[in-house]
């Protein structure tokens, strides 16, 4: 009985994962919430605001350049955006997440 329930749950989870493959994963959203909102959700900071068209010109530089700038810092943007635990891949995922217009 328990085994059957577990199998059903697993199948449901697998299906959900397949459907949500295009969506940003929870870990990326969590990192964004913790480290990037301080500026990227506060327009007075001068940072390009998340989920707005302010990312269009930035994206023209290419995602790799944006990731490099996030790692090294740029202008008033601190190195790693203060996220010491972020990997290069994490930063890339967060940037692509923030750059989505909603």
Separation between Cα atoms, residue 23 and residue 21, nearest integer Å: 6
Separation between Cα atoms, residue 90 and residue 78, nearest integer Å: 16
Contact between 35 and ligand HEC (CB under 6 A)?
Answer: yes
Residue 66: count other Cβ atoms within 10 Å of its Cβ: 22
Write phi, then psi, for 74 (nearest 5 degrees).
-155, 130
Binders of ligand HEC among residues 60 to 89 (CB under 6 A) are 61, 66, 69-70, 74-78, 81-83, 86
Q: Residue 51: which residues within 8 A CB-CB, separation 6 or more?
A: 98, 100, 101, 102
**Number of residues binding to ligand HEC, judged by CB under 6 A:** 26
Q: Which of 24, 58, 71, 96 touches ligand HEC by CB under 6 A?
A: 58
**CB nearer ligand HEC, residue 20 or residue 79:** 79
Site residues for ligand HEC per CB under 6 A: 35-36, 38-40, 45-48, 58, 61, 66, 69-70, 74-78, 81-83, 86, 91, 94-95
């Amino acid at each position: 009985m328990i085994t059957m329930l577990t199998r059903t749950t697993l199948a449901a989870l697998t299906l959900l994962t397949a459907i949500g493959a295009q969506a940003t994963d929870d870990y990326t959203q969590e990192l964004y919430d913790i480290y990037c909102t301080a500026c990227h959700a506060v327009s007075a900071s001068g940072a390009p605001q998340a989920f707005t068209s302010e990312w269009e010109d930035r994206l023209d530089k290419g995602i790799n350049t944006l990731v490099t700038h996030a790692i090294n810092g740029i202008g008033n943007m601190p190195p790693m955006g203060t996220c010491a635990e972020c990997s290069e891949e994490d930063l890339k995922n967060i940037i692509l997440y923030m750059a989505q217009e909603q």
